[in-house]
Structure 1
């Protein structure tokens, strides 16, 4: 193998992401310099935050540059090393983006053990999505046993972990997801107490039935109508971890009809970016890894085959077509 493929951002989307916003390129294999590590990526993580990076609007992170490898988390195997910290064959997690190959000085690489945890899980339940769930639940929502926790996008990579962690803490957990299949999975496989299918057309009534005693904490991934409905069920002093607003990722305004409840119910609303809390990652990843290894934290993956499939898989992710964590298998 003398060449490898990568996908770059060819043009910024206007509204919904289109396949032509990306370009597949072939490049010569880079040489491994002193102190460097060459990695063949096995899996690429696709995540909603990438849509925000594709825009050049002001945000919490710099926009994805045009004609550069699309940003993204990866897990792969070291195929050449001139760095004493890494050996050929090591499995490593990095941010090599939408690319079959990565070259690194090792600074941002994390060696992981695949004995009891599959490599792909380090991009999901034992990776950034898992940490997002762990941080939002434990440091913002801070639920007590017996309280009711609501989680939107409940079958996704983040929401599924939030709900399971809340159940382990003795909470009543209500998910919100799109479609009967996802709701059945959330209740029957993940152990949530209930799940509301927002596509069924009775969101508010169904949420009232699922959370008859109100909601004490919300993990919000969606925004829009789903968030409004959950706000309408909040108890006084409920805590809200604001993780994502996928309803507005194409630049739409997201109206909030129940905003007055922020005052009348004295709600705590905290937006957060999990990469701003790296000092907590060792603790969180250790706990998540132990739970996955022990079979106490379940996860589901949607896997697209081959780098060329990444754009369509990403567009599907933004439309909710994936089930669980969206990955691309690269090798």
Structure 2
């Protein structure tokens, strides 16, 4: 079974559902509020575990009421939390507005995640034991770079999600095997005007790139290979909050199972399509049997 280690964030998502998101200075009435365990790191860990991998989480939660709930949610999804630190103070939170079209706007408060700025004892050994390391940018960059370097030193595939988008240090790009960005992130990182040009520009820094395009599917570019466009299942979105993380977690599982890249991307798209039809991030993530049913339908 594929072993995936996730080095990243855990947040409690505080989600408000509204017909239309407020503009600056505007107050609107929402129809529902939920607290849902999330964070890009935890989301990818849960997605990968539900998709069938053995998953371990490296990160931090706080000593507030959210900390034990975040840890428990990971464990109940089958994620090992032995190296998930508990830090005095608040856990990370994400304040999310979701509109009736399934779109979202998010403000992240790092909390305990902000203390994860280095690899702690045991972290490198756990990374070395993995088939893949999943990284995002909701923890301090020094830890992300250290994790990528450890993975590279031990021959572990590194999958980077550059979100929230920010400049990427050369040492991180050098140690990245696959970069998975959405269209906005790819364009922002490169200054290009469309996804194809942006993916090509990113390929100058990493050996392989996936740009996710929402309902339009995904685009894959690798050095020495022809570009590959893969469509996504057409579904009605309820909440797209966890779709990108679901895609990455499922893609890592599919690649670990040595599926050809086209099949791996289709399988990941099937998982993401299931997630957007349900509210919440981690709560929306499908199990392997559901993904297989969607993939073969």
TM-score in terms of structure 1 length: 0.33
Q: Which has a greater percent of helix?
A: 2
Question: What TM-score, normalized to structure 2?
Answer: 0.36
Q: Larger Rg: 1 or 2?
A: 1
